[in-house]
Chain A
């Protein structure tokens, strides 16, 4: 395939940044999107130009490191996947592809397509844990049976990979889907109930302090989430928050 790429280039956080055009050939349908960028970068380096910076690590859809806004969609034109799982067979000969970083005030650009998502970590520092010592001197794991349904729903919420697509795709740059996933994981387990009140209050406060916008229930986050994190989690978090606030 021969393609035209329009890629956001930005030297550093201070730089203004701009779209730059690249032509590329020899792309095979079996390549992943990131492998296509590898091909481009290899050409750029061998020409002595700076390659395009983009985040990635596991390349199998689980670490949450890759990002990329592709043709106006977080993680590109396929549902339920991350950018590293996107394959070039989703594109056609001669296509023009727009590639941009996540855009949100709480995710400042570091370089080109790489953004700083440490605001997510700081929300976790505020309450994304159960306060139990790591000594192993806890009770036997089977002492508190957990209803399979709850365990499965807790697991579903826990599968959030912290990629930030929900924020990037939301017109308000809200982090509600991400935060609610963590709140839900613990809220659904007996072990997490004990601190539920402080947890939701602290995490929501941290989220607001980071400059994420408010949720207006547009649901765009759920559509773009690679792990199918459901809006139900936001509803659960709101309930948790409400009951915590009146306690």
Chain B
């Protein structure tokens, strides 16, 4: 099957408008006869569910948490981009489009990204109208800051809790529709399979996590909005429950999985301290606006710091290596995440790491505190030579901007980041890969859509900061509601989809037999035991830098862990009750398959781009080396029974509006 991305004809800046002018509409009376299932109620699913219900469809929404308000989008800290150009610093839809394509290392689809940039402007208006308290300046207007990979200030934020506030906005829009009876919300429910009837997605099998009961739900279309799969690494910044299950289950039923190896390693996370650790915590990238990143310039100083004989504050300016400012003078500390992450790894590998494990660099706010303090002193006509006063004033400004992040850091590390520089290290954060979708956000299964982080579409090989929130809300509020209507227009006479059919029987039977196997398997190891093993292989061989040998080994090792899992996993409790071990087991089973495809994808992509760095393909200076002649395509994998047998389909990426050049942030 050749991949049809369904990109409309015409110039890039009118494609979306033209498309909307010509799609089929469903009249309001008919929408009442159409059901849509939305799996996942984060920013993408929540906004989609609310909007579809508001348009008149009957929506059934599902999430595994006890409330949509807890979806992982809540954890996003830094902000959301929009090409509003409120700052008058030269921003525009084109520039946001350009930055995003370049940031993605020319591996994203132009038409999608342009549409994203266009609707970004509406997102902010929408959220403010919903009562989302975004940060304001004294004059009452919205405030902005900047993020890595851009030179304009286009990021809207709510302190360090932007995701929380945006999600609560979507949640409130959902609440309005739940109250009206237009959304039926299924909390603590997990989708375990999709049901196809005549090749179209017509329902799901879900497990009620409280009673353990398997339920059948039918609809005219199914939307997957279940977030990213970074937890395949075990340690990541994702929430503990984040998983690939729904995306993987639709993959097994015919949805292609695109670019699984594109993973974002975020440069500013709290470093790993030991084997007990269950997850990693991000320190928002917005900190790089004000924090300067450095390691000791001399190996002996680094060693002294590791051994606790010296403190970072003991080192004079001249003895510090602000390596990002040194290597990338024009972007400095604000280079994109992949560049910053690799640079940190390079310094630590060279022996300059600053924590006990040698895997940490400093993020230092001393200069910012001093700069802000002096500015405040001037504004308030105070003495700018009074060091203590300047520190206090500056500290207040920094606290105002990032207070909760500093508190978070303090609670975890037990060190005051105002007086001692933070220690940070890269960690797995976001997955740019995901289910392949066309311009309509439909997967290769008819009637099955995929939005938000779960799809592959807008970020290419790398994601710039503050663009995931934007994509989730763009998909849910402004894109899917149009494209799905175009599809559903054919279904106005279909009537209710029955659930007592062979297709539903079959799907439920398969889910049940997997659960029975896991429950009756009298193994000796917990689910976490296998998940951690998988995570180690992923991080060591498929992590920040990859090579052919490591990847080939990883594929075999993962297959072996998977085999061992089915023989030796122990799940206690019962299937028909609240059982968190079983929940984990079902998720890890899918990670164990995805992991292998992930490695296979990384192995086949003989180039370095964005978050995918193949050691064999780097420049003399250690920068990523892309191969546009051979790899300017989306790798979309078709399931064939075993992950390593997946078949590759290529969607060629054509750049008509932006010239592909080597990404440089020097």
Contact = CB atoms under 8 A, between A and B. Distances in A.
A32 B278 contact: yes
B151 interface: no
B578 interface: yes
B408 interface: yes
Given A126-B179, A158-B165, A147 B277 contact: no
B158 interface: yes
Contacts of A49: 572
Interface in B383-397: none
B408 A38 contact: no
Contacts of B137: 148
A35 B276 contact: yes
Nearest to B68: A121
A125 B187 CA distance: 14
Contacts of A245: none
Nearest to B211: A12
Given A129-B175, A142-B141, A110 B578 contact: yes
B172 interface: yes
A135 B529 CA distance: 46
B131 A117 contact: no
B526 A42 contact: yes
Interface string B580-614: 11000000000000000000000000000000000
A216 interface: no
Contacts of A147: 136, 140
Interface in B120-161: 122-131, 133-142, 158-159, 161
The DSSP consensus for interface residues of chain A is loop
Contacts of A20: none
A128 to B, nearest CB: 5
A3 B340 CA distance: 42
Interface residues of B, number: 83
Interface stretch (A55-63, A93-101, A231-239): A55-63
Interface string B273-291: 1101111011000000000
Interface string A31-57: 110110011011011101111010111
A62 B125 contact: no
B274 A30 contact: yes
A51 B131 contact: no
A89 B67 CA distance: 31
Given A46-B570, A51-B572, A155-B165, A129 B74 contact: no
B162 to A, nearest CB: 11
B268 to A, nearest CB: 14
Given A53-B578, A63-B74, A132-B130, A87 B412 contact: yes
B387 to A, nearest CB: 29
Interface residues of A, number: 81
Contacts of B570: 45-46, 48
A56 B279 CA distance: 12
B131 A192 contact: yes
B131 A59 contact: no
A158 B126 contact: no
Contacts of A28: 274, 276
Contacts of B175: 121, 124-125, 128-129
Contacts of B67: 117-118, 120-121, 162
A81 interface: yes
A130 interface: yes
Given A57-B72, A110-B210, A121-B67, A189 B414 contact: no
A142 B457 CA distance: 30
Contact of B172 (A89, A128, A144): A128
Contacts of A136: 119, 122-123, 125-126, 477-478
B141 A130 contact: no
A218 interface: no
A129 B172 contact: yes
Contact of A159 (B161, B408, B577): B161
Nearest to B528: A42
A205 to B, nearest CB: 13
Contact of B65 (A46, A63, A127): A63
A89 B410 CA distance: 13
B411 A81 contact: yes
A59 B136 contact: no
A207 interface: no
Contact of A53 (B138, B527, B580): B580
B375 interface: no
Contact of A134 (B47, B164, B526): B47
A211 interface: no
Interface in A148-175: 148, 151-152, 154-155, 158-159, 161-162
Q: Identify which of A49, A80, A158 gathers the most chain B CB atoms within 10 Å of its CB.
A: A158
A62 B278 contact: no
Interface string A107-141: 00011001011101100111111111111111111
A126 B276 CA distance: 43
Contact of B136 (A137, A146, A162): A146
Q: Identify which of B86, B173, B478 gathers the most chain A CB atoms within 10 Å of its CB.
A: B173
B192 interface: no
Nearest to A156: B133
Contacts of B75: 58, 60, 62-63
A13 B159 CA distance: 39
A145 B140 contact: yes
28 contacts: A11-B577, A32-B278, A34-B278, A35-B278, A39-B276, A42-B526, A45-B527, A45-B570, A45-B572, A50-B573, A60-B282, A64-B69, A65-B65, A116-B66, A121-B69, A125-B179, A128-B172, A129-B175, A132-B129, A134-B173, A135-B477, A136-B478, A140-B125, A146-B140, A154-B131, A154-B133, A158-B133, A185-B133
Given A62-B161, A138-B126, 20 more contacts: A30-B276, A35-B276, A38-B276, A51-B581, A58-B240, A61-B411, A62-B164, A87-B412, A124-B171, A127-B179, A132-B129, A133-B54, A134-B54, A135-B51, A141-B124, A141-B125, A152-B133, A152-B136, A159-B164, A185-B131
3 pairs of A and B residues whose beta carbons are closest in the complex: A145-B140, A136-B122, A129-B172
